[in-house]
Structure formats: structure tokens, C-alpha cells
Amino acid sequence: MAKRPPPQSVDEAPIEAVTRLGSRIRLARLRRKLRQEDLAAKIGRTRATVIAMERGSSTTEIGVYASALWALGLLQELDLVADPGLDRDGQALSFSVSDKRVRLRRPLNNKF
């Protein structure tokens, strides 16, 4: 594969990620010697939807991508997406002392 330059804008990064996912699904389908029609039948979609998914169309439902991964036996890898255990930035922020809520001390009111 040819090296691509980094995305130029924020909008390009998600599109490239979906494009890579589609091409990886296509490669997995080809390695299993499945036709697009076969995959479409397994996931209950049309061949046109499979083509759009493999091209990385951002308008294709995420459920189509998940169904294709299931049909190819790769759904368990989807569990790694946004896994809280792998989110180092999120973990660091949750343990950050500076972001904890601070409450002002109020005098105790013993009047009942």
C-alpha cells in the first residue's frame, strides 16, 4: 500500500478511518473467498450496500459494518473500539486532581 499524507482537516480523518475499515472488510471477504452477493445474503442487505461499505461510504449505517464483521467472524474485535480500558487520555483525566469538584465549606447548622 502507498503511504498517504496525513489528513489535512478534521473532516478527513473519520472518512479515512471508515475507508480503511471498508477495505479491511473487503480483504477479509476475499480471503474467505466470498462474493459480494454471498456477504450481502448473510447480512440481509443488497450487493450495492456491500459495495458502498467496502468503499468506506460514510453514509452507510454502522450496523452494516457490524453485521459484516459478524458474518466474517470478526465481531469480537469491534469490542476494542473505544474500550475504556484502552483510553489512556480518559483514564488520566478521570484521575486528575485538578478536575475534581471542590465544594465550599459551610458552617454546620445544628438547629433542627
CATH number of 12-94: 1.10.260.40
pTM for the model stands at 0.72
Residue count of the chain: 112
Contact 65, 53 (CB under 8 A): yes
Contact 102, 90 (CB under 8 A): no
Cα–Cα distance, 17 to 23 (Å, whole number): 10
Alpha helix stretches (DSSP H) within 1-112: 12-31, 36-43, 47-55, 62-71, 88-94
Predicted confidence (pLDDT) per residue in 97-112, tens digit: 665 666 777 877 777 7
Predicted confidence (pLDDT) per residue in 81-100, tens digit: 888 888 888 888 777 666 56
Specify burial of residue 40 (Cβ count, 10 A radius: 0-12, 13-18, 19+).
Answer: buried
